[in-house]
Amino acid sequence: AAERAEGAAYAESAFALTERSVTIETIGTFVPVTDEQLEDEAGAAAYLNGRLIFGVRQRLDGQILTGDGSTPNILGINNKPSIGTQAKGADSVPDAVYKGIVKSRVTGRAMPNAVVMHPNDWQGIRLLTTTDGVYIWGSPSEAGPARIWGLPVVETDAQTENTAVVGDFANFSLLVIRRGVEVQTTNSHDTYFTTGKQAVRAGLRCATVWTRAAAFVAVSGI
């Protein structure tokens, strides 16, 4: 893109694209249940469906962050090659996070929009006080802002402890869902038909795509 005078031609863009492939992986689980349990216990089917879906989504949460990319794992951002790094060193945690934000903006030419942290790491920031004991992130009587340097903080125990990830998730990441969470029930598994059991299974097929590694920065040692 370039400026143009009135009546002049627009600058032409050229894109050099390289074909890449990402393997769609499956995340799933199942639970055995007897025919009698499903028939006699009101809400049993709904309970099992909900728990299995919850378990699949929790596993997906972890894979998006720490999956190693080796089949059947998807590639999590912590293991994406060539993402930026920022060591805490002698800095305070907020200072180290801000330096990570700057790296994402300058080196990655991105606009970071989230900081992912383990709850134990966010706890240290939430409990920061001034020298006279005033809580910097708000009074204990209030929820307090789950934000740092203006960016929302995503707390999840799936994130590697002592490392935060700063990045532009909105523009340079993509979660490809080939098939959403699907729940199926069958009695054809093993000897389930003759023993009066059913298998309730939940699973999804997905992959992660990280289109610009430099847009993400791992802040270590926090």
Q: pLDDT tens digit string along 46-86?
A: 999 999 999 999 999 999 999 999 999 999 999 999 999 99
Model's pTM, two decimal places? 0.88
Give 15: exposed, middle or buried? Use CB within 10 Å, 0-12, 13-18, 19+. exposed
Q: With 90 as the cut, is the pLDDT of residue 147 above it?
A: yes
pLDDT band, very low/low/confident/very high, at 145 (cuts 50, 70, 90) = confident
pLDDT, residue 142, reads 87
Q: With 90 as the cut, is the pLDDT of residue 144 above it?
A: no
Q: With 90 as the cut, is the pLDDT of residue 204 above it?
A: yes
What order of strands is seen across the sheet that includes strand 25-34? 25-34, 197-210, 173-186
Q: With 90 as the cut, is the pLDDT of residue 216 above it?
A: yes
Can you tell me the distance from the alpha carbon of 93 to that of 220, in angstroms, rounded to the nearest whole number? Answer: 10
Average pLDDT for residues 140-151, to the nearest whole number? 91
pLDDT, residue 158, reads 96
Backbone angles phi, psi at 170, to 5 degrees: -65, -35
